[in-house]
Amino acid sequence: MSATPATETTTEPDAGYTPTDRTVPTRSRDRARYDRETVHSILDQAYLCHLGFVRDGAPVVLPTLFGRVGETLYIHGSTGSRPLLAAGKADPGLPVCLTVTHLDGLVLARSAFHHSMNYRSVVVHGTAYEVTDPDERRMALDSLVDHVVPGRSADSRPANARELAATAVIRLDLDEVSAKLRTGGPNDDPEDLGLPFWSGVVPVAPAYGTPIPAADLTPGMTTPDYVTAL
């Protein structure tokens, strides 16, 4: 079974996510977004998320891969991973905060104070639960592979019983969610416009290199279209 990050399960109008005390920013509230299209787009274009939780009374933040299926995020790791163990043992689950950020530009203003960055980010608050249903686990693992390279799960060997036994999966539903964006140029003060300093934006974007075949690849095997499409 193959799942892709863009899978949707409803055709109802997008009512958006309901703002809460934890998802309304204290600064620059005009940059906040709560519509699903914006949130999903930011999530689907990111490879890494940062998963925050409390361990032994201290905060911990871990970078990790994730996949989205509709209104659910899946995160995987070793069965010995502390956060995944906690998600399975805790009742009712493990409270977490998951974040994703894209850096789109360096904003250079005439004054040091107004330097900034153009970015797109998503913050998800909620409770993570261990996925124990075998079918959901396999679907979740497919979604993780397809999140990195769409179509790859159908073009690779599925995890075997030993690999599945060594892999834990947790789910986090998209319920308490917000996006935040900054676009545009510097916000220079009017009295600074005549200063002799360069002001503007340096765009930042990811770049993909030419795919490098494995040294032991079968001779004559061509690079799949879904890889060259990157």
Distance of CA 103 to the CA centre of its chain: 13
Q: Bridge partners of 76?
A: 169
- Band (113; pLDDT cuts 50, 70, 90): very high
What is the model's pLDDT at position 194? Answer: 94
* Domains within the chain, CATH numbers bracketed: 29-187+214-228 (2.30.110.10)
Q: Are 201 and 117 in contact (CB under 8 A)?
A: no
Distance from C-alpha of 227 to C-alpha of 154, rounded to nearest angstrom: 13
Distance from C-alpha of 207 to C-alpha of 196, rounded to nearest angstrom: 33
What is the model's pLDDT at position 78? Answer: 67
Higher pLDDT, 89 or 147: 147
141-200 tens-digit pLDDT: 999 999 999 999 999 999 888 888 888 899 999 999 999 999 999 999 999 999 999 999
pLDDT at 216 over 60: yes
155 CB neighbour count, 10 Å cutoff:
12
pLDDT at 96 over 70: yes
What is the model's pLDDT at position 84? Answer: 62
SS3 per residue for 121-188: EEEEEEEEEECCCHHHHHHHHHHHHHHHCCCCHHHCCCCCHHHHHCEEEEEEECCEEEEEEECCCCCC
Residue whose C-alpha is closest to residue 122's, from 59, 45, 195, 58: 45
What is the model's pLDDT at position 5? Answer: 43
pLDDT at 220 over 90: no
What is the model's pLDDT at position 112? Answer: 96
Q: Residue 184 — left, alpha, or beta (φ > 0 → left; ψ -120 to 50 → alpha)?
A: left
Q: What is the pTM of this model?
A: 0.85
Q: What is the mean pLDDT of residues 130-147?
A: 92
Q: Are 24 and 181 in contact (CB under 8 A)?
A: no
41 CB neighbour count, 10 Å cutoff:
16
